[in-house]
């Protein structure tokens, strides 16, 4: 994430559309007087968009003007082994993005407290995926809900096997105990935070299709062929990835992301083509951090 968020032209376009829409709609229903009222409403919407952008810029400048909190650094070093292995340049970006994420994203506890430590783990999960992309903003994320236990499909606590869920409209649900456990065991290829944020990354419109977004046609074809090959290896028990990745294409992507960050060296050694494609995609080489 950048101090000055990308997309200023897009927000300017939205502001212009809001103003034009207000003028046009007002004129249609109320003539000149309606146009004036509609124009005023459109101008208000445009002002609101621009003010929000300036507020975000000011907040981010304030964040980067201060050092990363020592308590946060100490907590992450203790609980996130990947953070401790990050090269210095990437770690600096990681810390900045974590601070931005916590300041800007809604993380709410449902039946449990959304403590500072849990917010750090949520932010670290997301930023692990996006730290290689300086312009990425997680705009599709509406809110993260933290539950006190695993849950079922009716969202009842303690009665199901779901540790997390990503909804197409942008809400992400995480079981707080499962999130904590994911960080406590760093190399088992299971991490509910990485898994669910990978699903959210995969969101295309209102569904998940299992293809990393932003690939050109050649890379998409390469991914599709490789995905089917790797899913067959999973079904045959010849993969270092979690068998759950064989469920469907969307689950394979999420499981592959978990393996890429949690079992980097194993993935590079036993599934080099998959590792290389994911390394190119995320602009990161976590296996080299282990070496």
Domain 209-291 has CATH 3.40.390.10: yes
The per-residue pLDDT for 45 is 47
Question: How many residues are listed for the chain in this entry?
Answer: 291
Asked if residues 42 and 18 have their Cβ atoms less than 8 Å apart, the reply is yes
Q: Which pLDDT belongs to residue 24?
A: 67
Token pair, residue 46, equals 């445009």
Q: What DSSP state is assigned to residue 69?
A: P
Half-sphere exposure of 68 (CA within 13 A, CB side): 18
Integer Rg of the chain from CA:
22
Please report, in angstroms and rounded to a whole number, the separation of the first and last CA atoms in the chain: 27
Q: Return d(Cα 237, Cα 234) in angstroms, integer.
A: 5
Which token pair is 58?
């000011």
pLDDT computed for residue 161 by the predictor? 87
At residue 83, the pLDDT reads: 96
Fold of 70-183: Cyclin A; domain 1 (1.10.472)
Q: What does the alpha-carbon distance between residue 231 and residue 257 come to, in Å, rounded to a whole number? A: 14
Q: Model's pTM, two decimal places?
A: 0.85
Mean pLDDT by 10 residues, the chain (291 residues): 69 56 63 56 51 86 96 97 95 97 98 97 98 95 97 86 93 97 92 97 77 94 97 97 96 97 97 98 95 74
Task: Say what the pLDDT of residue 11 is.
Answer: 54
- For residue 105, give the nearest of 151, 49, 59, 165 by alpha carbon: 59
Q: How far apart are CA 244 and CA 235, in angstroms?
A: 9
Are the C-beta atoms of residues 111 and 148 closer than 8 Å to each other? yes
- Which H or E element spans position 207? strand 207-208
Round the average pLDDT of the chain to a whole number and report it.
88
Taking residue 37's Cβ as centre, other Cβ atoms within 10 Å add up to 17
Q: Per the structure block, which two tokens stand in for 224?
A: 């599709």
CB 83 within 8 A of CB 183: no
Which element (helix H / strand E) includes 249?
A: helix 249-262
User: What integer pLDDT is reported at residue 8 of this predicted model?
Assistant: 53
Strand, coil or helix: 23 = helix
- Count of other CB atoms within 10 angstroms of residue 243: 11
- With a CB cutoff of 8 Å and minimum separation 6, the contacts of 21 are 38, 42
- Specify the pLDDT at position 5: 75
The SS3 of residue 202 is helix
Distances (CA, A) of 233 to 99, 131, 194: 39, 30, 22
The pLDDT value given to residue 40? 53
Q: Note the pLDDT of residue 203.
A: 78
Question: What pLDDT shows up at residue 14?
Answer: 47
Would you say the C-alpha torsion 264, 267, 268, 270 has a positive or negative sign?
A: positive
């Amino acid at each position: 994430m950048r101090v000055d968020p990308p997309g200023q032209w897009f927000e300017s376009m939205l502001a212009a559309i809001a103003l034009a829409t207000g003028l046009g709609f007002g004129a249609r229903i109320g003539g000149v007087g309606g146009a004036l009222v509609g124009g005023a409403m459109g101008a208000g919407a445009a002002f609101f968009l621009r003010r929000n952008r300036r507020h975000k810029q000011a907040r981010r400048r304030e964040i980067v003007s201060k050092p990363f909190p020592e308590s946060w650094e100490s907590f992450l070093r203790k609980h996130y082994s990947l953070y401790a292995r990050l090269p210095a340049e990437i770690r600096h970006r990681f810390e900045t993005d974590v601070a931005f994420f916590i300041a800007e994203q809604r993380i709410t506890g449902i039946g449990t407290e959304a403590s500072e430590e849990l917010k750090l783990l949520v932010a670290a999960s997301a930023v692990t995926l996006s730290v290689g992309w300086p312009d990425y903003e997680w705009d599709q994320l509406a809110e993260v809900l933290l539950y006190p236990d695993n849950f079922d499909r009716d969202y009842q606590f303690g009665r199901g096997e779901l540790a997390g869920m990503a909804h197409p409209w942008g809400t992400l649900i995480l079981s707080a105990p499962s999130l904590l456990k994911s960080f406590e065991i760093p190399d088992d290829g299971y991490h509910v935070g990485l898994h669910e944020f990978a699903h959210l990354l995969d969101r295309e419109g209102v569904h998940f299709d299992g293809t990393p977004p932003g690939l050109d046609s050649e890379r998409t074809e390469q991914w599709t062929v490789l995905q089917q090959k790797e899913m067959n290896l999973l079904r045959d028990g010849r993969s270092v990835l979690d068998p759950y990745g064989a469920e469907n294409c969307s689950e394979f992507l999420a499981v592959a992301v978990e393996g890429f960050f949690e079992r980097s060296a194993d993935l590079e050694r036993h599934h080099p083509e998959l590792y290389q494609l994911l390394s190119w995609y995320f602009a990161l080489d976590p296996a080299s951090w282990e070496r």
